Chain A
């Protein structure tokens, strides 16, 4: 899987938007961009994923650069519950069987101030 680069940490104020960047300059044409987050002392949870077009769901939005070499996870209104480590992960279009594991980098630790 191609590598991603994220800032080690970011801070945000509660109820303000947060933009978490991810660089993936070696992304291949069949790599999906996935975001997971891990709250303290819990297993990771899925946030969002996309291929080329921007994506929205109830948790967040994903903005993907036109050349796909970078993406940004957008939390529209940060809450204290959003304090977590956010992981940007590339996965090939084939997820099946033994290739279904995820390779985690160091992620971005997001702190949210009241």
Chain B
């Protein structure tokens, strides 16, 4: 089946630094990818919708200047957490659907990235 690969799976960074998370669709193309955030013992919350070749769409309350999204190709979207602070520590998950081969029903998720800001 289709696979979405997310990297890194785990990262620890110092407060004030930036961290980039990559999300790749390995065997299908995706014009749209989604970025979620999940705090401990809570559900996934959509942060933003990544659109290939255009600006991302951010959910209310998500700072676009802090969470930079780049969707430069049909198989890669990146999320950069800029000037990270401890409150940004969370589990970040990307998702994509195979929109071109008729398998659009199922959403595929990356393995997630555990970000810890110290």
Q: Spell out A's residues near B (CB within 8 Å).
A: 32, 36, 38, 41-46, 49, 87, 95-98, 100-107
Contact = CB atoms under 8 A, between A and B. Distances in A.
Contact of B112 (A36, A43, A103): A43
Given A43-B6, A44-B44, A105-B43, A100 B110 contact: no
Contact of B93 (A32, A43, A46, A96): A43
Question: At the interface, is chain A mostly helix, strand, loop or mixed?
Answer: loop
Interface residues of B, number: 29
Given A41-B114, A106-B43, A107-B43, A101 B95 contact: yes
A43 B111 contact: yes
Contact of A100 (B4, B36, B97, B109): B97
A43 B106 contact: no
Given A95-B97, A100-B104, A102-B107, 18 more contacts: A32-B105, A38-B44, A42-B112, A43-B6, A43-B93, A43-B112, A44-B44, A44-B93, A44-B95, A46-B106, A49-B106, A95-B104, A97-B31, A98-B51, A100-B32, A100-B34, A101-B34, A102-B34
Chain B facing A: main interface SS: strand
